[in-house]
Amino acid sequence: MKKLPIGIQTFSEIIQEKYYYVDKTKVLSNLVEAGKYYFLSRPRRFGKSLFLDTLREAFLGNKELFKGLYLEENWNWNKKYPVIRIDFGSGVLRDKNILDTVIGEILREHCEKESIELKNETISGRFRELIMGLEQKYSEKVVILVDEYDKPILDNIANKEVAREMRDGLQNIYSVIKGADTFIKFVFITGVSKFSKVNLFSGLNNLEDITINSDFATICGYTQEELTTVFRDLLVDTNLDELKLWYNGYNFLGDSVYNPFDILLYLKNKEFKNYWFETGNPSFLLELIKENQYNAINMEHIQVTQEEMGAFDVDCIELEVLLFQTGYLTIVKKERVLEEIIYTLGFPNMEVKMSLTSLITNFEYEML
């Protein structure tokens, strides 16, 4: 009997231990065929880490894991590539020195595994050495996958001085990538927020943002078809209209998708609850909501420009954009007004509307 992959982010474990799996390998294939440098922003617990790990296994050439999936017959399994995976998802970093230590540990682990010796002292120099060393060792270009790229910044977003230090510290990683283009096959960077390229990626202007690209709108999350096909045997006696009302509604300019974390826990418990919302603590968002004098009614119909959607930074926090990126709002409509593209944002579903409205109301009451 298949198991529900609640909290499982390792592709090989899902396949080998026979968990339910929604096949995202067709969009993976399209992604790799269409370009080289990508950035994706999605809310927490939306399947970003699993997709990243699926990319890793594909580039490593582990064909046996893809049996029966789209990629099995649509990938060049004769080619294998060295992969550098960097993950900032574990722990909370409150100091730039600790961030530097963590980056150093990640680079050292890769070097020890690959028997590569680094001579440079700086983080950027060592990262570039690792990329070049892997390319030389395998005679193949290197794949770089970065997960939760922004977490060290978001963990300190309420303290702008520390957040700036974290942002500047992360540049030691991201600034190297463009200069090492000759040695790189593919880059995929993912996180919750979309920080301005100017201040974080330092010249990495060839990074394609697919956050609200219709071709990749369903790269994470479950579509209606995926839900009713993959989990068909578990949906007996489920009111699909009610399920959609509670957990669907996330729109990235394509088919709307369900929050996968909610769906998996609903299928396990068969109860409508605020599963996803209860796993986060948006205290910094509440402070920003207070500063902007927002209430729940204001959040039903928010309009932002295309420029504002891509201008988020430590020193310029657009609350509306942050609420979209973190999953508390979604795109309701896109329209052109004269020469400008306008996005209308609103609550994605019942879970978020009820939970955030209650939280804001209680927060306002406590502040009286």
pLDDT digits (tens, 9 = 90+) for 290-323: 776 766 667 778 899 988 887 677 777 778 888 8
Domain boundaries, the chain: 11-216, 224-277, 281-367
Q: Tell which residue, 195, 1, 189, has the closest CA to residue 84.
A: 189
Whether 152 has a pLDDT exceeding 60, the answer reads yes
Query: Which CA distances in Å does 48 have to 11, 170, 268, 341?
Result: 12, 20, 21, 27
Whether 274 has a pLDDT exceeding 80, the answer reads yes
SS3 72: helix
- Per-residue pLDDT, 72: 98
**Mean pLDDT, rounded, for 147-171:** 88
Q: Of all residues in the chain, what percent carry a pLDDT higher than 70?
A: 92
DSSP characters for 102-162? Answer: HHHHHHHHHHHHHT------SHHHHHHHHHHHHHHHHTSPEEEEEESTTHHHHTTTTSHHH
- Per-residue pLDDT, 359: 80
11-216 folds as: Rossmann fold (3.40.50)
Contacts of 177 (CB under 8 A, 6+ apart): 37, 144, 184, 187, 204
What average pLDDT does the chain have? 90
H helical segments located in 277-349: 283-291, 306-309, 319-325
Q: Tell which residue, 48, 32, 134, 140, has the closest CA to residue 84.
A: 134
Q: Tell which residue, 94, 159, 163, 146, has the closest CA to residue 313.
A: 163
User: Residue 34 belongs to what H/E stretch?
Assistant: helix 25-34
Whether 284 has a pLDDT exceeding 90, the answer reads no
**Mean pLDDT, rounded, for 89-101:** 89
- Per-residue pLDDT, 71: 98
Instruction: Enter the DSSP assignment of 290.
Output: H
Contact (CB, 8 A) for 87 and 148: yes
SS3 89: coil
**Mean pLDDT, rounded, for 79-98:** 92
Pairing outcome for strands 302-305 and 330-337? unpaired
Distance CA 178, CA 189 (A): 13
Whether 215 has a pLDDT exceeding 70, the answer reads yes
Backbone angles phi, psi at 88, to 5 degrees: -105, 20
Whether 287 has a pLDDT exceeding 90, the answer reads no
Q: What is the CA radius of gyration of the chain?
A: 21
Distance CA 108, CA 102 (A): 10
SS3 333: strand
Whether 123 has a pLDDT exceeding 90, the answer reads yes
Looking at per-residue pLDDT, the higher value among 39 and 367 belongs to 39
Distance CA 85, CA 52 (A): 9
- Per-residue pLDDT, 235: 96
| Confidence band for 198, pLDDT divided at 50, 70 and 90 | low
What pLDDT, in 10s, does the model give residues 27-63?
999 999 999 999 999 999 999 999 999 999 999 999 9
Whether 283 has a pLDDT exceeding 70, the answer reads no
Long-range contacts of 72-78 (CB under 8 A, 24+ apart): 74/25, 74/26, 74/29, 75/29
Contact (CB, 8 A) for 106 and 145: no
Model's pTM, two decimal places? 0.93
What pLDDT, in 10s, does the model give residues 321-356?
888 988 999 999 999 988 899 999 999 999 999 998
Amino acid 145 reads L
Whether 80 has a pLDDT exceeding 60, the answer reads yes
Cβ neighbours, 10 Å, residue 352 = 27
Instruction: Enter the DSSP assignment of 232.
Output: G
